[in-house]
Amino acid sequence: MSAGVRHLYLHLPFCAYRCGYCDFVTLVGGDDALHRRYVDAVLTELELERPQLAPLLETVFLGGGTPTFTASRELARLLAALPPADEVTVEANPETVTPELTRLLSRNGVNRVSIGAQSFHTRLLGVLDRRAGPEDVRRAFHHLRDAGLDNLSLDLLYGIPGQSPSDLERDLEEALALGPEHLSCYELEAKPGTRFAHTFGDELVRQSEAMEGYFERVVQTLTGAGYRWYETANFCLRAELAGDRDLRARHNLGYWLGRDYVGLGIGAVSTVGGKRWRNGPKLGSYLAATEAGSSPPRDVEPLDEDVRLRERLLLGLRLDEPVPLAGLEPALDAAALARLSRLGLAEQVDGGLSLTERGRFLGGGVTAELLAT
């Protein structure tokens, strides 16, 4: 029996609107009464899962959806009921961030906020169907700073149709001008079945080769500005520039390091002790089950040793620190490792394996070759 799971995810699915590119489990609108029922349901699920959780957590992450769109009384009630944690992160859409909201967050133990900026160009935000403009992003950032939050992250997207290399440079400059502790930069994906995929899917395929250049530009600009490229798409201010603080996102680091986590809410995934389960995405059945005091409907996926080892490599190699190889050998193709080491794409140091900078730029392809079939 372990000392308990130390990472907790809560899914808050409500959004004011649905962005065309998004395929997360979301629900548009909902009134205060529905938000109250949902928070009650999540708290019931928390009680059912509490025996698995450590009394003091390392991280809590409220993701969405738009957690900051949840009725404020309900959001405060949920935050106040959570077990204590060292890092408590909330995802926020810029247009939802008001001085009242920032006070609510900091009063209730939130010490990290991830703001979905995506871009600072009105035209590109329009392509994404975003409601927030560049001024909303800046205003949200300053409100959070004013409330004393000293660990802020910005999400940016690259590969938005019509985004030129100089548009991307401007987005990065605008983001850097705010001085965030952390940045996540994702390549925009056309998720099957979304409005965006329907309209722009072919264009994303046409521009896919150019994306390698965009990615290199992101990495060069951010590392040049003092950020550590600690994970494929994630950057944090270097410790020596941040009073020795390690500003990596501890919650996501838990996923990348293969730690156990419990996820609550519709569509949330948990991985505990070699077993993975995913809550069903339907609100009705989630509420019905929890209101009857039971766990929600779930798909359970046993994780056999082989899958766990491969996942450990797949995720670990996204990081800038070596993955300890002890025990992972069965998942590794030794001949591919020798070949990729000769090509200067992977390297072994002190019993650990990492990708070189060139290997990290090529990313998934190199890792896929390293995995034994």
Ligand X SMILES: C[S@@+](CC[C@H](N)C(=O)[O-])C[C@H]1O[C@@H](n2cnc3c(N)ncnc32)[C@H](O)[C@@H]1O
- Token pair listed for 311: 């996942």
Quick one: which H or E segment has residue 8? strand 7-12
Using CB under 6 A, pick the residue from 4, 22, 43, 369 that binds ligand SF4: 22
Residue 362 touches ligand SF4, criterion: CB under 6 A: no
DSSP 296: P
| Beta-strand relationship, 298-302 and 275-279 | antiparallel
Residue 93 touches ligand SF4, criterion: CB under 6 A: yes
Per partner kind, with CB cut-offs from 5 to 8 A, the member of ligand X, ligand SF4, none near residue 221 is none
Q: Rounded CA gap, 76 and 70, in Å?
A: 9
Taking the least distance from each CB to ligand X, the nearer of 63 and 316 is 63
Per partner kind, with CB cut-offs from 5 to 8 A, the member of ligand SF4, ligand X, none near residue 191 is ligand X
DSSP 350: T
Per partner kind, with CB cut-offs from 5 to 8 A, the member of ligand SF4, ligand X, none near residue 189 is ligand X
Residue 102 touches ligand SF4, criterion: CB under 6 A: no
Instruction: With H, G, I as helix, E, B as strand and everything else as coil, classify residue 307.
Output: helix
C-alpha dist (Å) from residue 180 to 142, 149, 172: 11, 11, 11
Q: Tell me the closest approach of the beta carbon of residue 353 to ligand SF4, in angstroms.
A: 35
Per partner kind, with CB cut-offs from 5 to 8 A, the member of ligand X, ligand SF4, none near residue 254 is none
Q: Rounded CA gap, 119 and 233, in Å?
A: 15
Residue 186 touches ligand SF4, criterion: CB under 6 A: no
> 265: closest CA among 18, 61, 33, 83?
61
> 84: closest CA among 39, 54, 47?
54
Q: Rounded CA gap, 54 and 61, in Å?
A: 15
Q: Which residues bind ligand X (CB under 6 A)?
A: 21-22, 24, 63-64, 66, 91, 93, 116, 118, 155, 157, 186, 188-189, 191
Per partner kind, with CB cut-offs from 5 to 8 A, the member of ligand SF4, ligand X, none near residue 18 is ligand SF4
105 Cβ neighbours under 8 A, 6+ residues apart: 79, 90, 113, 144, 147, 149
In the bound complex, which residue of the shown chain has the CB atom lying closest to ligand X?
116
Using CB under 6 A, pick the residue from 8, 12, 19, 190 that binds ligand SF4: 19
Taking the least distance from each CB to ligand X, the nearer of 188 and 315 is 188
In the bound complex, which residue of the shown chain has the CB atom lying closest to ligand SF4?
22
Residue 27 touches ligand SF4, criterion: CB under 6 A: no
Using CB under 6 A, pick the residue from 46, 57, 61, 64 that binds ligand SF4: 64
Residue 65 touches ligand SF4, criterion: CB under 6 A: yes
